[in-house]
Structure 1
Amino acid sequence: MNEHVAVVDLGYGDAGKGTVVDALCATSPVRAVLRFNGGAQAAHNVVLPSGRHHTFAQFGSGTLRGVPTHLTRFVVVDPLALAAEAVALGDPYELLTVEGDALLATPWHRAANRRRETAERHGSCGMGVGETMAYALTHADAPRVADVKSPARLRRRLSALADHYGPGFVVDDVLETFVAFGRTVRIVDESYTGRLLREGPCVFEGAQGVLLDEWRGWHPHTTWSTTTFDNALSLCPSLRRLGVVRTYTTRHGAGPFVTEDPALRLPEPHNRTGEWQGVFRAGHFDAVAHRYAVEVAGGVDGLAVTHLDAPPRCPQLRVCTSYDNGWTRIVPGNFRDLDHQAALTRWLFRARPGALTRPDDWPAAIGELLGAPVLLESYGPTAADKKVHCPPAARRSATRRRSP
């Protein structure tokens, strides 16, 4: 790899972004992994050939190979969750840099998130990421990473949080923990991203999936995050866009899922029912929804197809190429038109699979259905289980464009 690559999930998350990033870091030198959305709710599984396994949340999925992580301003940083993850990884703080303008997730945000989710199930990981984003939209003094270097300013901002959300946490306790975080991590300004990009190829690691995007997903069962390539492109206009899909479609918790099939026997060692996320659901490969994801993401330069070991183990698994009304394409609405997205959600709750087929060659069939070359095939959890293909230059230049 001699250029920058952005890795984005074209489904509802859990397609295998972590294992794809790990494979990219294993096959060629990578200067750094840059996180460009989401926060501590991410769960990217990496398994090394030795059997070592870690579920990455805020550290990049190249960490086990010594690749540095940079958390850009688009990441919601949770110092408490980050500390717990660092302990599990052996405290690799020397591999971490954090942009000072990134928002801070606090215990108040997490508690408020869980109260809302308990009152009305929306679909959440319960980590307070969405609550952090929502608070920042209406409060100019929302805590940011750079504030941990100024205890007086941070105290004022944490006190404002306590006043807004009510009692429950001691400001001084949170302040002490966050100031300690500031002494431990290297906090940088926005110019650091450009420095990394000049120093060598970087991998942009996305979180969640395009079908959960805050503006393009099935509203209101979405995330408070831009899950397309847009954030990465704002940081690096020239990069290769790699879309990740499984051979079967999955989602956690509430929301429409046209191809869901509880009869499918697809054991899931790293994804289970969660207290806040809800049930882990599986279904047939939804080419209609994934085509929509490619379109609203602005196109892809190539695909990474994971879980290619599943079809031989599950003879019932199929590919859905249309819905029961004959639709083969979900028509995107205007950008940020949540009324349109809500109408799509209502329709998708009623939709059922139309044509279901079982391809002989799964990578070739998926590539043809989504109109992009398959650049990585994954037949298992480790980098050794991957096949990486060289991209056709003509196709890359033809598909590169920004989403509206």
Structure 2
Amino acid sequence: MAVTAVVGCGWGDEGKGKIVDALAAERHARLVIRFNGGPNAGHTVVPEVDGSDKPAWSGVVFRLHQVPSGVFTPGCVCLVGTGTVVDPDGFLRELAELEQHGVSTENVLLSDRAHLVLPMHRDRERLLEQAREQLKQGTTLQGIGPTYEDKMARIGLRLGDLLDGEYLDEYLPFLAEEHSRRLGALGGEPVSAGELRELCDRWAQQIGHRIVDSHPLVQRTLREGGDLILEGQLGACREIDWGIYPYVTSSGATAAAGAAGSGVPVTAINEVIGVLKAFSTTVGEGPFVTELFGAEADRLRYAGESESEHEFGATTGRSRRCGWFDAVAARQAAALNGCTDIALTKLDVLDGLLPELQVASGYEMNGERVEYVPSSTRRLKYVTPVYETLPCWKQPSRGARTWERLPAEAQAYAKRIEQLVEVPVTYLGTGPARLAMAKQTT
């Protein structure tokens, strides 16, 4: 039995969905669990099958926001875990899109302990972001933060509550009154308990058969064996405790959070794959040490052979901020996660892009060299990167499935990142599709 946590070691958008899809298919995973976040995630997956008898979905670009990326592996149970927050309407739209392409969703389940994203959560987030004025955080406005806020304040609704009509009768009037008070303070409209009840009843009818107590499922899988994959959302650089606070997500995004958010004992995790892009990107506000601007940023933003590969958010469509690879942030993220391996994605988009590439191997602050990410986000604004220059490669790495097929300069780039991050670069993404991945075995 192998339990693998796949986590972001950047600011999100590293390609975790691609890695989870590829590993689940290769290993015939028995269970894949999304352990944090909600519809703010945007995991772009291009499942691909070799041979002449391909399913209709092979090669199609999917953007998964809540459904785990193991959904394309036959027989794999895909659990939206306890640590997530769920927007049922968005979840239903995802299922419908998958089914339209012939993907079976019968094994997609929801933990009864996961919390519900309600309409007033999106209203509150929108009003809070407006109220911040010059202090905007650049959220996705999906209601994620307010949902976790309710969870931590112990007033939230969980998916399992949808199946308990008596509890809803008792609790919804209080919840509506509390949120009416909060929204009213920000100039919002009151919340109707009756409308909330109608919404809950509809959701219970539509997704009630997918809601399960996940503990027996997880324990049975661990006991009987088979590969289990924990799929994280966002990355350590925007993690609630270790990210560039307050420009962070509202949930834990590390491998340790993967244990808590899935119900898998932390001692059962025997592999942690940290996913990094071959250059840095982020969406949202906050300091970004290696950021490029203008034409330099656009070269990275629009690199790739198809529009789906360009650097725009899969959830919001916002343009991603782009910069050189930040080895300081990556090394700290890998250490926090206890990474055993690195998956370096989008190596192929650098093919012949520039004569040379830059890698930030250190920071400078107040005239001194710094080898870590300062805990103060305000201080991080004044950090400057210390760059190394590496040659780019002219020969294509696109579609390479073996280490030997990679250009020598691409191998050297991956090896230098491996040295700086202090974790082996085992997987190298050479295209958006599942099979476009090389593995370093030496």
Fold-level similarity (TM above 0.5) = yes
Matches within 5 A, 1:1-400: 3-49=2-48, 50-66=58-74, 67-90=76-99, 92-120=104-132, 121-138=136-153, 140-166=154-180, 167-168=190-191, 170-199=195-224, 200-234=226-260, 235-236=264-265, 237-239=267-269, 240-262=271-293, 263-264=296-297, 265-266=299-300, 267=302, 269-270=307-308, 271-272=311-312, 279-297=319-337, 299-315=338-354, 316-325=356-365, 326-330=368-372, 341=375, 343=376, 345-358=377-390, 360=409, 361-390=412-441
Distance 1:148 1:373, change over 3 A: same
Superimposed CA distance per residue, residues 315-371 of structure 1 (whole angstroms, 9 cap, x where no aligned partner): 153211112335342167xxxxxxxx4x2x111112222223225312111111111
Distance 1:11 1:162, change over 3 A: same
Please list every run of 5 or more consecutive structure 1 residues that lacks an aligned counterpart in the other structure. 333-340, 393-404
RMSD between aligned residues: 2.2
Q: CA deviation at 1:22?
A: 1.0
Q: CA deviation at 1:151?
A: 1.8
SS in 2 for 1:387: strand
Q: CA deviation at 1:374?
A: 1.3
Distance 1:116 1:192, change over 3 A: same
In 2, the alpha carbon distance for the partners of 1:27 and 1:318 equals: 33
Whether the aligned pair in 1 keeps the contact of 2:43 and 2:314 (CA below 8 Å) is no
In 2, the alpha carbon distance for the partners of 1:116 and 1:141 equals: 19
In 2, the alpha carbon distance for the partners of 1:373 and 1:290 equals: 13
Distance 1:144 1:162, change over 3 A: same
Whether the aligned pair in 1 keeps the contact of 2:12 and 2:282 (CA below 8 Å) is yes
What letter is aligned with 2:268?
A: S
Stretch moving more, 352-361 or 76-85 = 352-361
In 2, the alpha carbon distance for the partners of 1:16 and 1:230 equals: 20
In 2, the alpha carbon distance for the partners of 1:301 and 1:258 equals: 26
Whether the aligned pair in 1 keeps the contact of 2:346 and 2:431 (CA below 8 Å) is yes
Distance 1:93 1:173, change over 3 A: farther
Q: CA deviation at 1:238?
A: 2.4
How many residues are aligned here?
A: 378
SS in 2 for 1:175: helix
Superimposed CA distance per residue, residues 40-66 of structure 1 (whole angstroms, 9 cap, x where no aligned partner): 111001013342111111111121233
Q: CA deviation at 1:384?
A: 1.6
Distance 1:243 1:73, change over 3 A: same
SS in 1 for 2:85: coil
Whether the aligned pair in 2 keeps the contact of 1:105 and 1:129 (CA below 8 Å) is yes
Please list every run of 5 or more consecutive structure 2 residues that lacks an aligned counterpart in the other structure. 49-57, 181-189, 392-408
Distance 1:233 1:171, change over 3 A: closer
Superimposed CA distance per residue, residues 96-131 of structure 1 (whole angstroms, 9 cap, x where no aligned partner): 222211111111112211221233221311111111
Distance 1:307 1:274, change over 3 A: closer
Distance 1:119 1:273, change over 3 A: farther
Whether the aligned pair in 2 keeps the contact of 1:109 and 1:129 (CA below 8 Å) is yes
Percent of aligned pairs with the same amino acid: 30
Whether the aligned pair in 1 keeps the contact of 2:177 and 2:191 (CA below 8 Å) is no
Whether the aligned pair in 1 keeps the contact of 2:71 and 2:108 (CA below 8 Å) is no
SS in 2 for 1:350: coil
In 1, the alpha carbon distance for the partners of 2:434 and 2:177 equals: 48
Stretch moving more, 171-180 or 94-103 = 171-180
Whether the aligned pair in 2 keeps the contact of 1:141 and 1:157 (CA below 8 Å) is no
Whether the aligned pair in 2 keeps the contact of 1:123 and 1:222 (CA below 8 Å) is no
Whether the aligned pair in 2 keeps the contact of 1:6 and 1:203 (CA below 8 Å) is yes
What letter is aligned with 1:34?
A: I
Whether the aligned pair in 2 keeps the contact of 1:12 and 1:210 (CA below 8 Å) is yes
Q: CA deviation at 1:387?
A: 1.4
Instruction: Answer with 1 or 2: which has the greater Rg.
Output: 2
In 2, the alpha carbon distance for the partners of 1:73 and 1:18 equals: 19
Q: TM-score, normalised by structure 1?
A: 0.87
Stretch moving more, 315-324 or 124-133 = 315-324
